[in-house]
Chain A
Amino acid sequence: MTVGLFIPCYVNQFYPNAGIATLELLEKAGVKVVYPMRQTCCGQPMANSGFEHLTKDCNELFVRNFAEFDYVVSPSGSCVLHVKDHLHSEKREDQAQAIRGKIYELVEFLTDVLQIEQLPARFPHKVGLHQSCHGLRGLHLSQMSELVAPTFSKPEKLLRLVQDLELIPLSRKDECCGFGGTFCVAEEAVSVKMGKDRVADHLQHEAEFITGADMSCLMHMEGILRRQKSNVKVMHIAEILNAQEIG
């Protein structure tokens, strides 16, 4: 099995450790991983702003980069959902469709494809899990609080495999953090207020770390935490699942 590793543009540029942890987790699981060097972005920032018609070049590039792999895996629910819902190609539509069927967010790839039941990880901290909306309601990584249906959570299942990690509860377990792509600047006031409220929920429950499967939400909350001079850190779930803190 060969996996094409898709590292979203802003993760590549700002959060390389999330990418490195993703790569290492997959390699430790015995997967052959290839990172196509010519990748850039899935096009979501433009599409969510109403400019999906401008994403054709991004899409063609994406198809050229990732068509050859058995699976495409990415540490971002939001980017994966965008590809799943919107990837098209004028030249190779069959390959675009195939990618839409074989692209996975990291957590669901670990639980559903690799069916990971054990992790040699240790992270002795109190951790709050932020359920990013696109992973939650788009990819169904967890059960959504609005639906009358049995509960489950793929990220929680993995975090429970980490030694000495204490998962804290939240008052609102799946409220949006307010990042929302360009929403974070176009609707600055509401975005910030949503972020402050989400962070406050984690702080009230004494989280030391806020984690999640989408670095964009974490980047937004990190900006708020650092402005508040809080000691609480954000960390992508891949880094926690790959953590080897010595006790």
Chain B
Amino acid sequence: MKTEPTKDHAALAHRFNQDEPRVNWHDETLWFIREKRDRAAFAIPDWELLRETASQIKFHTLSNLSQYLAQFEANAQANGITVHWAADAREHNQIVHSILQQHGVTQMVKSKSMLTEECHLNDYLEQHGIEVIDSDLGERIVQLAKEPPSHIVLPCIHLKKEEIGDIFHMHLGTQAGVADPQILTETARQHLRETFLTRKAALTGVNFAVAETGEFVVCTNEGNADMGAHLADVHIASMGIEKLIPRRADLGVFLRLLTRSATGQPITTYSSHFKMPRPGHELHLVLVDNGRSVQLGREDFRNSLKCIRCGACMNTCPVYRRSGGHSYQSAVAGPIGSILAPNLDMKKHADLPFASTLCGSCSNVCPVKIDIHNQLYKWRQVIVREGYADPKKTVGMKAMNLVLSSPKTFTLSGKAGRWFMKTVPFLVSNKMNPWYKHREMPQPPKESFGEWYRKNRKPHE
């Protein structure tokens, strides 16, 4: 179970940066994916139109969400799907557990679902005596390593293949020192095949749910969602209520964007539609709110619900690439996680909107055009207003305002640079100036611009 964080993003990022070659490797690995994304996007001349279209479809859907949810539920039920509603993570976990209990299931296979990470489903089920095996390869690796995923699309991107070799040696019996991806993948394949064949229940995530047909679509590259669902008697699908799209015709817009944005592929290997249970089998769908309707009510932040979980904002984020996904301490890390997480727990995630330079690259790669960096700025204002800022910072900012709002104090604060030398950069504790650790201070010139101007031009007082 995830424990209350004791360190904030800056502290964990500092720790991540103790191994600089590893930071370089992490940065370059993710930048490589950003470049693949660029090549895929630039191959589509109408890419920006596609993004705009997707953004508007999502806007429309979110604006009429209750109506589309009702339509979807009715159609799904007509198809034979059992629909459940969960107000929060706890209720979601209880629903899943009760379905498993009804069928006497103690072992479940699960394909990728960030929602179940958000709800900490695995921990919950394990506490209730149910074994969960993640079937997405990356998810399985971090599960064996007893770590949370560090990236929503690439869960083990923080691990090198040698480290994965060690994990497989320890848990799956490969030879020590074997790090050949082909051998490791084959080992995982055999291990998971046994799992698929013996599990009576399978849980999958949902990428898109179509209101007009009552079907849902699951995208994977490994086909693991299909293997799990097709071989089990009971298929449970968990989806956030924001995953809806109105029509099947809208799906093409999103499928074209999703994987190009995520990995630079034209489309996922499998885009599987699930519409009804097979005869004699059960298909359950759990619709989860868990803070989404609260976020929908926050005008400044509701567009964050457009997210289709492609991870492009993480790959492009210069801070994410150099701090690693675990430094965010949230199921969804990176820029999008930093605007979603404070809605779930503002106190716990008060550090995240500040873990950004507001460079804006995230908003530009976002396939549904979420204004991520503007929302980061707005969350900062909310977090300070709600009293979650460091009190020392508040004192510093007030002192700064006194100087900067008074021309007289500003000018009298000294010869060029004196006030700034005491306070730069921006009034943080000076006894161990974090600027100076790895950077020289700017050299104060002999006169400020103001002083120069007074001597050389006719001042306009």
Contact = CB atoms under 8 A, between A and B. Distances in A.
Contacts, number: 240
B322 A193 contact: yes
Interface string B344-380: 0000000001111111110111000000000001001
Nearest to A7: B449
Interface stretch (B69-77, B164-172, B197-205, B436-444): B436-444
Given A176-B361, A185-B425, A40 B10 contact: no
A219 interface: yes
Q: Which of B17, B41, B45, B460 has the most CB of A within 10 A?
A: B460
B435 A185 contact: yes
A61 interface: yes
Interface string B419-461: 1100011101000011101111111110111111110010111
A12 B426 contact: no
Contacts of A58: 401, 404-405
B31 A220 contact: no
Nearest to B31: A172
Given A14-B416, A148-B45, A224 B357 contact: no
A146 B14 CA distance: 28
A133 B359 contact: yes
B16 to A, nearest CB: 8
A230 B461 CA distance: 41
A15 B441 CA distance: 13
Given A148-B41, A186-B428, A57 B401 contact: yes
Given A34-B460, A50-B380, A12 B359 contact: no
A46 B439 contact: no
A37 B41 CA distance: 49
A186 B354 contact: yes
A10 interface: yes
A149 B426 contact: no
Interface in B371-423: 377, 380-381, 383-385, 389, 393-394, 397-398, 400-401, 403-407, 410, 416-417, 419-420
A176 B359 contact: yes
A45 interface: yes
Given A49-B380, A50-B384, A178-B318, A37 B397 contact: no
B158 interface: no
A183 B377 CA distance: 12
Interface residues of A, number: 79
Contacts of B13: 187, 189-190
Q: Which of B363, B364, B439 has the most CB of A within 10 A?
A: B439
B420 to A, nearest CB: 5
B420 A10 contact: yes
Contacts of B360: 133-134, 136-138
A36 B407 CA distance: 11
A13 B451 CA distance: 10
Contact of B357 (A7, A40, A46, A133): A133
Contacts of A53: 381, 384-385
B377 A48 contact: yes
Contact of A54 (B365, B401, B417, B454): B401
A184 B454 contact: no
A27 to B, nearest CB: 9
Contact of B416 (A13, A57, A195): A13
Contact of B20 (A39, A54, A188, A193): A193
B460 A35 contact: yes
B330 interface: no
A26 to B, nearest CB: 12
Contacts of B461: 37-38
A206 interface: no
A208 interface: no
A185 B430 CA distance: 11
Contacts of B17: 189-190, 193
Given A182-B426, A189-B10, A144 B364 contact: yes
Q: Closest 7 interchain pairs by CB?
A: A223-B439, A180-B357, A57-B405, A50-B384, A50-B380, A146-B364, A137-B360
Given A144-B364, A223-B441, 18 more contacts: A13-B420, A13-B444, A41-B404, A49-B397, A50-B353, A50-B384, A51-B401, A53-B384, A133-B357, A147-B364, A148-B44, A180-B356, A187-B13, A188-B10, A189-B14, A194-B322, A197-B322, A227-B438
